[in-house]
């Protein structure tokens, strides 16, 4: 599965045409059915360095890879951003922003507060430092209740008026 930069061959485009190419890529990415869920997931895990090279594609579907700068394990020079939300704000109309925002907020409602416990249980069987699985569980549980509000704040396009 190639990444999007190879699929759209952005590196081969003359600099003057790169803006139009970027808009094409942004339109393709944000129109994927799973895009709002991916945006919400990146917000939950606090992934600050998502780029198009971190999206693998398979036909019309795409998947996220590379969570190196997530779970508060990011370098200090990474500001508190959600790159997928920035993509929405920079390239979509207010109506389209609202549609993505609604989908992302809905996606947060499918995230189980029990997932952090399951991750802790899985990590506990691996040869890692004691205390790390419990720390990850505590960290992700603390972010879970605020994901929807964080998405509301990150994406322009008005408020969704969903009960948060």
pLDDT of residue 1: 35
Residue 44 in any domain: the answer is: yes
Residue 49 in any domain: the answer is: yes
151 contacts: CB under 8 Å, gap ≥ 6? 39, 40, 43, 82, 85, 101, 104, 105, 108
Q: Which residue has the higher pLDDT, 87 or 125?
A: 87
Residue 46 in any domain: the answer is: yes
Q: Which of 86, 72, 74, 108 is nearest to 154 (CA)?
A: 86
Check: CB of residue 109 under 8 Å from CB of residue 140. Answer: no
**How far apart are alpha carbons 57 and 59 in whole angstroms?**
6
The range of the structural domain enclosing residue 114 comes to 4-154
Residue 160 in any domain: the answer is: no
Residue 159 in any domain: the answer is: no
Between CA 84 and CA 57, with CA 112 as vertex, the angle to 5 degrees is 40
Single pTM value for the model? 0.79
pLDDT of residue 158: 55
Q: How many domains does the chain have?
A: 1
Residue 162 in any domain: the answer is: no
């Amino acid at each position: 599965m190639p990444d999007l930069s190879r699929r759209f061959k952005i590196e081969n485009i003359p600099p003057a045409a790169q803006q139009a190419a970027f808009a094409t890529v942004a339109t393709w990415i944000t129109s994927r059915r799973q895009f709002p869920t991916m945006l919400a997931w990146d917000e939950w895990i606090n992934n600050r360095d998502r780029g198009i090279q971190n999206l693998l594609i398979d036909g019309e579907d795409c998947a996220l890879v590379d969570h190196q700068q997530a779970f508060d394990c990011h370098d200090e020079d990474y500001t508190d951003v959600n790159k997928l939300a920035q993509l929405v704000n920079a390239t979509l109309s207010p109506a389209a922003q609202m549609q993505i925002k609604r989908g992302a907020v809905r996606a947060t409602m499918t995230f189980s507060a029990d997932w952090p416990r399951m991750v802790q249980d899985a990590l506990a069987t691996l040869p890692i430092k004691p205390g790390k699985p419990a720390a990850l569980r505590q960290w992700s549980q603390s972010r879970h209740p605020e994901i929807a509000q964080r998405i509301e704040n990150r994406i322009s396009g008005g408020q969704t008026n969903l009960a948060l």
